[in-house]
Amino acid sequence: MTPQGNGSRVRVLLIDDDRDDYLITMDLFQDLPDHPYALDWVSDYETGLKKIYQGDHDLYLVDFRLGERNGLQLIREARERCPFAPLILLTGQGEYEIDRQAIEAGAADYLEKSGLTPVILERSIRHALLQKRYEAELESTVHERTRELIRLNENLHREIGERAAAEEALRNADRRKDEFLATLAHELRNPLAPIRNALEIMRLTPNNSEALTRARGMMERQVSQMVRLIDDLLDVSRITRGKLALTLERLPVSEVIESALELSQSQIDKAKLKLTVNQPPRDILISVDRLRFAQILSNLLNNAAKYTEPGGSIVLDAAVDNRQVVFTVRDTGIGISADHLPHVFELFTQIDRSLNRSQVGLGIGLALVRRLMEMHGGTVEAHSEGRGRGATFTVRLPIATA
C-alpha cells in the first residue's frame, strides 16, 4: 500500500544545493506508477532546517553536500526539535562511514545517488514513513502509560493519606473510648458512696424518722442519677443499632416546651440560674416524638445549666422562620473554644471539665441530641464566641403539615 500524507499525495521536500540533482530526483518520482508524491525543493541549509521545523512535509530528502555545512549536521540539528521527522540522507559517496554516521544522527535511511532507481527511492520512503508511524505510536503509548502511572501514583498517595487519616481516626476513637470508660466507671461509682452512707445511717438510727427521711431522699437522688446515665447509654446503643423507633405526633410547640421544662427545671433551679422562655405569638404544630423531642430540648437546657456559673442565665427561644420552627438555647456560661466547637456533637466528647470541675458527664448528651434530630428530619448547630462568652445551640424542625 502506498503511504499517504497531507491530502491525497505524500509531500516530500528535497534539501539540495544543486538544481540538477533536483531535476534528476523529480524524474525519479515521475517514473513511479500513479506518481503519488509531490516534490518540493529548497537549496540551502537554513531554509531546509526552517521547513523541517514548520512540519509542512511528510518526508525530507537531505543531500550530504550543503555548502559550508553538510546533511549530517542538518539531520542532527533537526532531530533535536523534530524527533519524528523522517529524514533520508542522499549522497554521491558510497562510504560506509557516512552510512554509519547518518544512522547515528537519526536518518531513517542512506541512499547513494549513483545507483538510485525509482523502486529503491520509493521503498526507502515507504520504510521511513512506516518507521515514523511506529515511532509516533510508540511515543503515544509511552505517554499513555506515563499518564496511567501518574494516575496510579496519585491514587496510591491518596489511599495512603486516607489510610493515615483512618488510622488517626481509629486512634482518636480508641482514646475517646478509654476516656469514656474511665468516666463511666467514675460516674457509676460516685452514687455508691452516698447510698452506702445512707444505708449505714438507716442501720444505726432505725428509730430516727428525720435521719431516715434524709437518707431515703439521698438514695432516691443517687439512684435517679444512675438511672439517667444508664438510660443515656441504652439510647446510644439503640440508635447505633437502628433499634430506636419514633412515635410521631402533631404537637403544639408550647406543649413540647412544657414537657422539656418538666425534665430540666429542677437542675436549672439547683444551679441557681435565671431561665427565660420566649414562644411564638401563636401556637405552631410540629410533628415529633413527645418523649424524644422533650429529651432533645432537656439535654440542651441541662448542658447549659451544667456549664453556667450560679447567677447566670439561660434563654429558650422558639420562633418561626421560613416554614420551620427554630428553638434556640443560649447561656452565659463558660463557652466553647474554637478548636473544640466542631466536635461537640461527637460521641463521648466533653467540654473541657477543667473549666468547671464540679460538673461531670459521659459526653453523650449532645451526641444524642444530634442523632435524635436527624431521626426527626431536623438539624442542630452549636455556636460560641469562645471561652467565657457563653454558647448557643439552635434546633430547626419543619412545621407540621395539615
pLDDT band at 9 (very low <50, low <70, confident <90, very high): confident
Q: What is the mean pLDDT of residues 156-176?
A: 86
Cell of 45: 541549509
CATH number of 10-140: 3.40.50.2300
CA distances to 89, 96, 104, 125, 299 from 130, in Å:
17, 24, 19, 9, 79
Any idea how long the chain is?
Answer: 402
Convert the pLDDT of each residue in 64-89 to its tens digit: 888 888 888 999 988 888 888 899 98
How many Å from the N-terminal Cα to the C-terminal Cα in the chain? Answer: 80
The sign of the CA dihedral 232, 233, 237, 240 is: positive
> 39-47 — which CB contacts under 8 Å span 24+ positions?
39/12, 39/13, 39/14, 40/11, 40/12, 40/13, 40/14, 41/13, 41/14, 41/16, 42/13, 42/14, 42/15, 43/15, 43/16, 43/17, 43/18, 43/19, 44/17, 45/15, 45/69, 45/73, 45/74, 47/15
Q: What phi, psi does 43 have (nearest 5°)?
A: -110, 0
Q: What pLDDT is stored for residue 356 in this prediction?
A: 45
Count of beta carbons in the 10 Å neighbourhood of residue 249:
15
Q: What is the DSSP string of 319-347?
A: EE-SSEEEEEEEE-SS---TTTGGGTTST
What is the side-by-side order of every strand in the sheet holding 59-63?
37-42, 10-15, 59-63, 87-91, 109-112
Architecture of domain 248-398: 2-Layer Sandwich (3.30)
Q: Taking residues 137-164, what's their average pLDDT?
A: 88
| Euclidean distance between CA atoms 113 and 91, whole angstroms | 6
CA distance 232 to 244: 12
Phi, psi of 14 (to 5 degrees): -100, 125
Q: What is the largest CA-CA distance in the chain?
A: 139
Express as a percent the part of the chain with pLDDT over 90.
30
Q: Which grid cell is 390? A: 457563653
Region 353-373: mean pLDDT is 67
Check pLDDT > 80 for residue 30: yes
Of 188, 225, 264, 305, nearest to 217 by C-alpha is 225
pLDDT score, position 383: 94
Burial 215-230 (b: 16+ CB within 10 A, else e): beebbeebeeebebbe
How far CA 219 is from CA of 192, 194, 200, 205, 230, in Å, comes to: 9, 7, 12, 16, 16
CATH number of the 157-240 domain: 1.10.287.130
Residue 354: which pLDDT band, with cuts at 50, 70 and 90?
A: very low
Cβ atoms of 315 and 276 closer than 8 Å: yes
C-alpha 47: how far from chain center: 54
| 26-30, 206-210, 382-386: segment of lowest average pLDDT | 206-210
List the chain domain ranges: 10-140, 157-240, 248-398
Using only C-alpha atoms, what is the Rg of the chain?
44
Fold match between domain 157-240 and domain 248-398: no
At 61, is the secondary structure helix, strand, or coil?
A: strand
